[in-house]
Structure 1
Amino acid sequence: MKLSSRTKIVGALGLAGLVLVTLIMSPMLMTGFPSFLGGGDLPDCEEVTQQDEQASEGATADIPAEYLALYQKFGKKIGVQWTILAAVGKRETDHGRSTLPGVQSGTNYAGAAGPMQFLVSTWGGAKRIPIPSKFNGYASDGDDDGWADIYNPADAILGAAKMLKRNGAPENVRRSLFVYNRAWWYVDQVEEIARKYAADGQVRVPPQADASCDDPVIQAAPSDVVGRILAYALDQRGKPYLWGGTGPDAFDCSGIIYMAYRSVGLTIPRTTFGQWPFGVKVPDGQEQPGDLVFFNAGPGTGPDNPGHVGMVVSKGKMIEARCRLCGPIKVTSYRGRDTIVGFTRPLENTTVKDQLAKLRSSL
């Protein structure tokens, strides 16, 4: 079974020694390192949907029907494995059935509350918050009553799904769980529960979430040069966003693209504002791997001055370093975003063509 991609895990993982020894665990609020959302028509990398992840007999016997429906609903909505979400609920409070302090009311010794054991500060600074809210945090309104109630199962499970998503799920499940509670033995226990909850005994990841699906993506590139550019970009999955970053440990949206092209000996503009006019414009629907997709996003940007960029890796998918709070570098879908400005092909720029000719002549 594969639970994570070949993504390099970066950051201070030495904190794994901070093991909590209570039954009720407390999620930690910090920026995590998600990796890869895949997709597209690729050989041996068929899409695995939430509907495919059937509950085992043990899951239906152990999980209250209300909770099972919520885990599956919000797992699908947010895009994380419902089995992992349910396993967190089991490990934290036995799906809300625990009578320990902080589950039904109040907080535990660490300040955590509710069926998914959020720290009140992580939730948003209060146990019950009106939605929409001025508070930052994972406070969520899962039952559409206008309130984010830390004790409400629908609200808490939706919030937990968001937290797991931001910090690595569905691809880098172990990292997301480590952020939820900083102890590797906790991660192991949750994964074991999740496997028991899945009818096939597996915790599935999306297609292209591991090295076995990278090769088809790279092999489908329109040229060897593009394949090498994609290989570099895909190897940066899981690294954090850093404004102005050009690696090797962190990148911003244009920085990863700049360095991916540089990795094969090609120089393109460093910033999004420079990359947009540099490449030859490509009609929507005719984009191909290695092309750039631009968005009207960020302060001071507009339809003719896009502020965000990603690199197309396969049909409808791009690799991007989106923002500090959006999670680390990963592959996402660009279809459905209403802020797309257009596509360009840097390899068609005359300067790049000259660079390519010199590279070929030197071989």
Structure 2
Amino acid sequence: MTSRVRIALLLGLAGVVLLTLVMAPMLMSTFPSFLGGGSLTRDDCADDGAVQVTNVSTTARSDIPSDYLEYYKKWGKKIGVQWTLLAAVGKRETDHGRSSLPGVRGGVNYAGAAGPMQFLISTWGGKAKIKIPSKFNGYASDGDDDGIADVYNPADAILGAAKMLKRNGAPADLRRAVFAYNHAIWYVDQVLEIARRYAADGTLDVPPEADPACDEPIVEAAPSDLVAKILAYALAQRGKPYIWGGTGPRGYDCSGIIYMAYRSAGLSIPRTTFGQWPFGQKVAKGEEKAGDLVFFNAGPGTSSSSPGHVGLVLSPGKMVEARCTLCGPIKVTTYRDRPNIVGYTRPLRNPAVLAQIKRLGAT
């Protein structure tokens, strides 16, 4: 072996050793005994207000502390990101708060990050604990309703992380969302691999509350066969992109998906949100049913008397929604926690639609 080759080999070995020394403290809490897989089970799709925890692999069940799992599931569902993604970030950052490294339970680490989800204090809001409500710029959140957004409190930190991932691309563009959390390709790859291991079906492709296995109960609960057709069409469009002016099949805007859902059942209603709002019979809050529309004061040129956004009610509190270009794909969301609801309407009670239903002989 020539001296030049020996030198090259020694330099390469030194590089590997250096990389190992740098990465080992971060990786030790992440991967030992973790990548072993395990049997998978599926969520039962129940939505009784309780946090469902059956949608986890045996690997996740044995690795994630029960309180952290509850927070991941709760805030993932509430904010609209994959709970597995939240859990993977928590694992990668601090081993779900079990790490003894600086900044996890107090103070900050060498980079100025703190808490179980390792927020930069500047990103959290300027200080570790912020009284809520107060004015600040950041992701500081109060996840346990104690009036304090505490970066060291997992209930608060996981909610903040969910908001950050959502703001940066989740649940659709996961690589972008994770890269925004930590600007390193290797970090993105590791987080997504952990998330897949935590996922019940081993994938990250289905947005929250968009599992086709959950469709059947929703459709079966429809008050009529006609409404069932409308809901089935809208649910089948989940995962497609928001496209302004879109009426499918590649993508839709908020009113476009509703217009086409009604068309799929043989009914004609106005195409735009501005036309749909005065068209249906007004429905009192709390009396809305599947097939009704819920309207929001959102978008340019809109007001409380001229709403610019609309969703299709699936059941009280849930709707199918095509929200905006940057809001991710069409999906099932909640609406009762939204602050800008204008009202509800029932297009099926419009006289023109009643005449169409009579001609169709539909029920």
Report the TM-score when normalising by structure 1.
0.61
What amino acid sits opposite 1:47 in the alignment? D
| Structure 1 counterpart SS, 2:276 | helix
Q: Call closer, same or farther: CA 1:217–1:126 in 2, change over 3 Å.
A: same
Deviation at 1:156, TM superposition (A): 4.9
Whole-angstrom CA distance in 2 between matches of 1:45 and 1:55: 13
Correspondence 1:76 to 2:74: yes
Whole-angstrom CA distance in 2 between matches of 1:324 and 1:127: 33
Q: Call closer, same or farther: CA 1:118–1:241 in 2, change over 3 Å.
A: farther
Whole-angstrom CA distance in 1 between matches of 2:109 and 2:236: 45
| Structure 1 counterpart SS, 2:294 | strand
Report the TM-score when normalising by structure 2.
0.61
Counterpart position of 2:195:
190
Q: Call closer, same or farther: CA 1:245–1:163 in 2, change over 3 Å.
A: farther
Counterpart position of 1:343:
344
Q: Which piece of structure 1 moves more, 184-193 or 276-285?
A: 184-193
Correspondence 1:237 to 2:238: yes
Mapped contact 1:242–1:250 kept (Cα < 8 A)? yes
Deviation at 1:164, TM superposition (A): 4.2
Mapped contact 2:68–2:96 kept (Cα < 8 A)? no
Mapped contact 1:282–1:345 kept (Cα < 8 A)? yes
Mapped contact 2:124–2:139 kept (Cα < 8 A)? yes
Correspondence 1:47 to 2:47: yes
Mapped contact 1:46–1:207 kept (Cα < 8 A)? no
Whole-angstrom CA distance in 2 between matches of 1:56 and 1:356: 47
Q: Call closer, same or farther: CA 1:358–1:177 in 2, change over 3 Å.
A: same
Q: Matches of residues 175-324 of structure 1 in structure 2 within 5 Å?
A: 176=174, 179-181=177-179, 186-192=191-197, 209-324=210-325
CA displacement, residues 110-149 of structure 1 (integer Å, 9 cap, x when unaligned): xx9976466999x4899989896675x7465779998897
Q: Call closer, same or farther: CA 1:222–1:47 in 2, change over 3 Å.
A: closer
Deviation at 1:347, TM superposition (A): 2.3
Whole-angstrom CA distance in 2 between matches of 1:51 and 1:90: 20
Whole-angstrom CA distance in 2 between matches of 1:348 and 1:163: 41
Deviation at 1:216, TM superposition (A): 1.9
Mapped contact 2:218–2:314 kept (Cα < 8 A)? yes
Whole-angstrom CA distance in 1 between matches of 2:162 and 2:312: 27
CA displacement, residues 222-244 of structure 1 (integer Å, 9 cap, x when unaligned): 33232121111111223333433
CA displacement, residues 216-274 of structure 1 (integer Å, 9 cap, x when unaligned): 21122233232121111111223333433333333222122112122334321122111
Mapped contact 1:281–1:343 kept (Cα < 8 A)? yes
Whole-angstrom CA distance in 2 between matches of 1:359 and 1:54: 42
- Looking at secondary structure, tell me which structure has more helix per residue: 2
Q: Which has the higher contact order (CA 8 A, sep 6+)?
A: 1
| Structure 1 counterpart SS, 2:295 | strand
Q: Call closer, same or farther: CA 1:184–1:221 in 2, change over 3 Å.
A: farther
Larger Rg belongs to: 2
Mapped contact 2:254–2:311 kept (Cα < 8 A)? yes
Deviation at 1:69, TM superposition (A): 5.3
What amino acid sits opposite 2:193 in the alignment? D
Deviation at 1:337, TM superposition (A): 4.1
What amino acid sits opposite 1:189 in the alignment? I
Q: Which piece of structure 1 moves more, 186-195 or 343-352?
A: 186-195
| Structure 2 counterpart SS, 1:305 | coil
Whole-angstrom CA distance in 1 between matches of 2:248 and 2:255: 11
Counterpart position of 1:162:
163
Deviation at 1:214, TM superposition (A): 0.8
Q: Call closer, same or farther: CA 1:89–1:354 in 2, change over 3 Å.
A: same
Structure 2 unaligned spans of 5+:
1-22, 28-43, 180-184
Mapped contact 2:46–2:52 kept (Cα < 8 A)? no
Whole-angstrom CA distance in 2 between matches of 1:302 and 1:57: 50
Mapped contact 1:258–1:268 kept (Cα < 8 A)? yes
Mapped contact 1:72–1:82 kept (Cα < 8 A)? no
Whole-angstrom CA distance in 1 between matches of 2:321 and 2:56: 33
Deviation at 1:276, TM superposition (A): 0.9
Q: Call closer, same or farther: CA 1:262–1:190 in 2, change over 3 Å.
A: same
The sequence identity of aligned pairs, in percent, is 57
| Structure 2 counterpart SS, 1:269 | coil
Whole-angstrom CA distance in 1 between matches of 2:192 and 2:265: 38
What amino acid sits opposite 2:320 in the alignment? I
Whole-angstrom CA distance in 2 between matches of 1:219 and 1:119: 47
Q: Which piece of structure 1 moves more, 80-89 or 242-251?
A: 80-89
Counterpart position of 2:40:
none
| Structure 1 counterpart SS, 2:246 | coil
Q: Call closer, same or farther: CA 1:92–1:190 in 2, change over 3 Å.
A: farther
CA displacement, residues 61-86 of structure 1 (integer Å, 9 cap, x when unaligned): 977x8xx7567457535646767534
CA displacement, residues 287-343 of structure 1 (integer Å, 9 cap, x when unaligned): 321111223334543443222211111233211223345443222233344543332
Aligned-pair RMSD on alpha carbons?
5.0
Mapped contact 1:178–1:184 kept (Cα < 8 A)? no
